[in-house]
Copies of this chain bind each other. A is one copy, B any other.
């Protein structure tokens, strides 16, 4: 099976997820700055989730760039990833509604952790299909970022009950790690 529709469908779902989060930014009835003030935590959580979904999209883009075909297992591994991503708007809204309270921040970490695991499963399904000596397997290499992120989430989840702002800072650290350019796949494909 060709990868075209898997890409198109994933693009559609991710585009919708990244956009419907903005609906949580409810238009205030007041016409002044005071009306915007209660929206600050909603806005902050929106920015963080926009970046995380953006990271997943660019990674997904790179991943599928390195392969040519897919099978039924890959389709479902991909749907499984999209399922966890689809919960990000919900936990984002929960964080915004409760100004970064403990449970919302912890559940945010749980959803990110599940998404990270789902992404790992998708990677494995693709390598199983293309072989350990494929461009993809070489490009991913030891995949340090992919392995370090779940550790951060596992630390942040209990930390949220001690200090939710520190836990949120850990999520920001993960986002920054991913935003630092990582040319593994680009470089391997260029060879």
- In angstroms, Cα B27 to Cα A181, docked, is 34
- In angstroms, Cα B183 to Cα A170, docked, is 43
- Is there a chain B Cβ closer than 8 Å to A156's Cβ? no
Majority DSSP secondary structure for residues of A touching B:
helix
- In angstroms, Cα B65 to Cα A1, docked, is 7
- Is there a chain B Cβ closer than 8 Å to A139's Cβ? no
- Is there a chain B Cβ closer than 8 Å to A93's Cβ? yes
- Are the C-beta atoms of B5 and A61 separated by less than 8 Å? yes
**A77 CB to nearest chain B CB (Å):** 11
- In angstroms, Cα B29 to Cα A53, docked, is 24
Name A55-91 residues within 8 Å CB distance of B: 57-58, 61-62, 64-65, 71-73, 75-76, 79, 82-83, 86-87, 89-90
Interface residues in chain A, defined as those with a beta carbon under 8 Å from any beta carbon in chain B:
1-2, 5-9, 11-20, 22-25, 27-33, 35-36, 47, 50, 54, 57-58, 61-62, 64-65, 71-73, 75-76, 79, 82-83, 86-87, 89-90, 93-94, 96-98, 101-104, 107, 179, 181-183, 186, 189
Q: Report, nearest first, the 3 A-B pairs whose CB atoms are least far apart.
A: A12-B15, A31-B101, A31-B98
